[in-house]
Structure 1
Amino acid sequence: MKSIIGMLLGVSVLYTAPTFITGDAQAEEQRESVRVPAMRNRVYTQLARAQQIADDGDRPAGLAVLDEVKTRIDSMNSYEKAMLWNFYGFMYYADENTAKAIESFNKVIAEQAIPESLRMSTLYSLAQLSMQQQNYTQTLSYLTQWKNVNTKALTSQQHVLFAQVYYQAKQYEKSLVAIENAVTLAKHNGEIPKENWLVLQRANYYELKQPEKVTEVMELMVKLYSKPEYWLQLAGMYGEIGREDKQMGAMESAWQAGFISKAQDIITLAQLYRYNNVPYKAAVLLEKEIAQGNVIANEKHLEMLAQSLMAAKEDQKAIPVLVKAAEIAESGKFDAQLAQAYLNTEKWQLAIESAEKAIERGGVTRLGDMHLIVGMSHFNLKNFTESMSAFEEAEQIKSSAKSASQWLKYVAREKLHHDQLAMLN
């Protein structure tokens, strides 16, 4: 147990006892000089003996010595009583008996004629112990009393303690002021704000529904404490405030740093690439992660890969992906996408087969497009009759009727021209 005998003993000490007047105006502190009596040698000797026994590892015996001293408490002055309760408090704290420690320290500050330094240190200890007990109202009371008798500027850690208490009491604005004071003081002293301070600052801004401020704090946390979760949280905040470009940058940086390993985070990055019009990066990412088994090659992810490849004008690479997806799908939606990919790569017969298969299997959102693909593919194969028949089917569907009608007219003219040339030959 840390020695507490190092107080001024055997001398009289003057201290200023605070009193408080509460009125309509702000409370003003009134002080009066109080003479602190000296600690007599016989009391000092017994307290020192109790501490030595406790320091040697026998706290019960140390407490027994204090109990013996307490039997003569009526003959003790205020300072001696306060020091006795102070010893009790430290011993109970060492035994992790917080409730008893708080009870003892309260008896210390109940004494009037004690050094102001003792009153201040005890109030601060009481605040910390009440914080451990999650009694935030009492903690705030002790801290307020301590601050009213404290003549020194608060340290960063003391500002943080206020911030923690205010946060637990749901007084987020006051908590913010306190934590910002701590951060500002640290910066002024050339120190780096501690990680848990920034976590608390972020939490306050979050509770106050200020996402832009949350984002600013996250930027600082990433800069000072580059942890994987902070990069991902920063990316999430960029998304929340509508900065998808920065969201992609943060996710990409996290990816390059090796901070992304979860499948969902990989998928999110791929989606951001698509959203920000860089589908090729999405395709490369998905292709690699699916091949390595980090992303499951299920229907959803294969579709995302194929769409990324097609958006990147890599239809040829998309085809085997779509073939695999079509094999495991229960509908014809991948056959429909295959039909489009085959059309784009001028594989006319394969486009016809895939489109017809999509129509047969069902589950296609734009059925008219399949008839259009069949019609265009037959046209390129000079199958005019089959082409017109497909366009007639497409003309019956509202979403494709206009395009089908235009194609019908065009194919009819081309068929007539083709037939005329055939007759001449």
Structure 2
Amino acid sequence: MKLLNTVLINSLMVSVISFAAGVSLSLAPTSLAYAQAASDVKPGEKRTRRTPALRSRVYEQLSRAQTQGDAGDVPGAIAILDEVKDKISSMNSYERSMMYNFYGFVYYNDEQFAKAIENFELAVEQQPIPVNFEKTTLFSLSQLHMMQGNYDKTIEYLEKWEALNDGVIPPKNYVLKAQAHYQNKNYAESASYIEQAIEGHEAEGYLPDEGWLILQRAVYYELKQPEKVKDILAKMIRLYDSPKYWIQLAGMYGELGEEKTQLAMMESAYQMGYVESGADLFNLAQLYYYHEVPYKGALVMQQALESGTLERNLRNLKFLATCWQAAKEDEKAIPVMQTASSLASDGELDAQLGHLFYNLEDYSKAVAASRLALEKGVKKPGAVHMVLGLSLYNQRKFVEALDELAKAEAFPASRSTAKQWASFVSREQRDFEILKQQAESI
């Protein structure tokens, strides 16, 4: 059943396109203490790249810039870094890289992201520099490009990071890569990377971040693999028992044609207090109606309308009346339908009211409702003339009844039935007149 599809689709897209799928942007300059230590490798330690040392005079200037930056004095920090840059010809590769790194950090904190990216890129261009420092800067660049919507660049810098890596790739790298591919609509590639991230994280004994599962779910939805989406949502319910996941999983069962399970999921969510929004309550009521449980659908609609969760508009009132009518609760359907008909521009609801009143043998109200329906306009006027004619007949208004039945004969859909009733009413009229005369003579 697909009546939840729109809600589901809207729900699936939430947060996926934002930079929030479990990888937070956390940029910080390589600390000066680390910078010195990284250039002074102890004897016996594995050295993958020989790098020059960070000299004390450069260290002191960068330390001053860091202090100014930490204090929020961006112009002051930039001025100090500019002083350092004036002596760039006398600086070694590591010192130049650290200088550009600090430029990038200051600009990043001031939300000047284009300048931050420019300087971080210059930082990694200075070679040789320590491998770990280069990797940290490359990852920062991939994050910044992701923020700016430069998804190809995000992937490019992640792959440069991987080229330097000689160990296990952390899940956060795979997640960022998956996000970039998702944004580029490379859904198969995105699926591969988010799977690796989740599987690797779980293999280490950790639970996957909720945002990772949100991304994974969205990827498989785009790949039109509803079974996978269903399984991911079931997992999200187990790990992060959020109301919205119950609603979305119910929607996926509808997509898969498992309609009984869809209703069971929605009903369970409702009983747990998870079905709260007007849209979800309306969908639940529709599910009850289409699964031939209209009484429950009417109760859900009525409670939602009384609480104000659903607006008392034409659509909602009309559907509530339909539910009551399907549940054989005509007396409850009538007042709702009367309110709804006052909001409608056509006479369809008035025609239904006329039929309801006729069934309840309230012929005067049936006549009034039917005449209003014809006045406002209906799709099947012949049927309304029939109800009007029969209601008038039961009021012993034979001439008016025959007139309405004659009008019903003008429409092909009601012609045959109208002729039969006209013959019957004519006989009844004659019999009534005879009995009336006999009574008068006595």
- Give the TM-score normalised by the residue count of structure 2: 0.71
Greater C-alpha radius of gyration: 1
Report the CA distance shift for 1:38/1:303 in structure 2 as closer, same or farther (over 3 A). closer
Q: Which residue of 2 aligns with 1:123?
A: 138
Q: Is the 8 A contact 1:127 1:143 kept in 2?
A: yes
Report the CA distance shift for 1:126/1:304 in structure 2 as closer, same or farther (over 3 A). closer
Q: Is the 8 A contact 1:47 1:66 kept in 2?
A: no
Shift of 1:150: 0.7
CA distance in 2, matches of 1:414, 1:206: 66
Within the alignment, does 1:5 sit opposite 2:17 as a pair? no
Q: How does 1:180-199 map to 2 (within 5 A)?
A: 180-199=195-214
Shift of 1:349: 5.2
CA distance in 2, matches of 1:388, 1:74: 109
CA distance in 1, matches of 2:83, 2:345: 86
Matched length: 403
Q: Alignment partner for residue 51 of structure 1, among 59, 63, 73?
A: 63
Report the CA distance shift for 1:134/1:260 in structure 2 as closer, same or farther (over 3 A). same
Q: Partner amino acid for 1:8? A: A
Secondary structure class of the residue paired with 1:158: helix
Within the alignment, does 1:144 sit opposite 2:159 as a pair? yes
Q: Which residue of 1 aligns with 2:417?
A: 403
Shift of 1:391: 5.0
Within the alignment, does 1:164 sit opposite 2:179 as a pair? yes
Q: Alignment partner for residue 364 of structure 1, among 371, 378, 387?
A: 378
- Unaligned ranges ≥5, structure 2: 1-28
CA distance in 2, matches of 1:97, 1:325: 56
Higher RCO, Cα 8 Å, sep 6+: 2
CA distance in 2, matches of 1:11, 1:295: 69
Q: Which residue of 2 aligns with 1:315?
A: 330
Q: Which residue of 2 aligns with 1:270?
A: 285
CA distance in 1, matches of 2:288, 2:331: 20
Shift of 1:175: 1.5
Q: Which residue of 2 aligns with 1:344?
A: 359
Shift of 1:152: 1.3
Report the CA distance shift for 1:387/1:38 in structure 2 as closer, same or farther (over 3 A). closer
CA distance in 2, matches of 1:360, 1:99: 68
Q: Partner amino acid for 1:176? A: A
CA distance in 2, matches of 1:294, 1:345: 32
Q: How does 1:214-363 map to 2 (within 5 A)?
A: 214-227=229-242, 230=245, 233-234=248-249, 245-249=260-264, 251-253=266-268, 255-258=270-273, 262-326=277-341, 331-348=346-363, 350-352=365-367, 354-355=369-370, 357-358=371-372, 361-363=375-377
Secondary structure class of the residue paired with 2:38: coil
CA distance in 2, matches of 1:323, 1:66: 77
Secondary structure class of the residue paired with 2:33: coil
Q: Partner amino acid for 1:5? A: A
CA distance in 1, matches of 2:278, 2:182: 35
Shift of 1:160: 0.7
Report the CA distance shift for 1:190/1:346 in structure 2 as closer, same or farther (over 3 A). farther
- Give the TM-score normalised by the residue count of structure 1: 0.74
Shift of 1:127: 2.2
- Unaligned ranges ≥5, structure 1: 17-33
Q: Which residue of 2 aligns with 1:39?
A: 53
Shift of 1:164: 1.9
Deviations 1:132-183 (A, max 9, x none): 3433333222211111221111222111111122223332221221112122
Q: CA RMSD in A?
A: 4.3
Report the CA distance shift for 1:216/1:396 in structure 2 as closer, same or farther (over 3 A). same
Secondary structure class of the residue paired with 1:5: helix
Normalized per residue, the structure richer in strand is: 1
Percent of residue pairs bearing the same amino acid type: 40
Q: Partner amino acid for 1:288? A: Q
